[in-house]
């Protein structure tokens, strides 16, 4: 039990639609990261938010965007969904102190794009 929760657990969308995934961070954690994990692969870093500002981004197009709220919960938004967006989306929270701290992952949201 990491204290990180995600919703929904599963989601089915059609190509071209938009989706919002939600993450509730572990209490006291000021940093949240989002990852995409395609079937049979390791997680790929999407972006990270620290104190409501984007603090690093992986190789993902602008249609992947995020928000972090004052209570440190966050959202991942994906516009114009493509079939390849089908994956497990993981969020991870940590307490950033200037050094890389341990990230605690949520159970993920499984997104299927048809």
Partner 1 sequence: AQKVTQAQTEISVVEKEDVTLDCVYETRDTTYYLFWYKQPPSGELVFLIRRNSFDEQNEISGRYSWNFQKSTSSFNFTITASQVVDSAVYFCALSHNNDMRFGAGTRLTVKP
Residues that bind partner 1 (CB under 8 A): 2, 33, 41-45, 48, 55-56, 58, 88, 90, 92, 99-100, 102-108, 110
- In terms of CB distance, is 2 or 14 closer to partner 1? 2
Closest distance to partner 1 from the beta carbon of 38 (Å)? 11
Closest distance to partner 1 from the beta carbon of 70 (Å)? 21
Residue in the structure block whose two tokens are 């993450």? 23
DSSP conformation class of 72:
S
């Amino acid at each position: 039990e990491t204290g990180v929760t995600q919703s929904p657990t599963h989601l089915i969308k059609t190509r071209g639609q938009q989706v919002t995934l939600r993450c509730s961070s572990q209490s006291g954690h000021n940093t949240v990261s989002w990852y995409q994990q395609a079937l049979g692969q390791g997680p790929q870093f999407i972006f990270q938010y620290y104190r409501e500002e984007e603090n690093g981004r992986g190789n993902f197009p602008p249609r992947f965007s995020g928000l972090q709220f004052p209570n440190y919960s966050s959202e991942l938004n994906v516009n114009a969904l493509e079939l390849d967006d089908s994956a497990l989306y993981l969020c991870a929270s940590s307490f950033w102190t200037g050094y890389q701290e341990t990230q605690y992952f949520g159970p993920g949201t499984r997104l299927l794009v048809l």
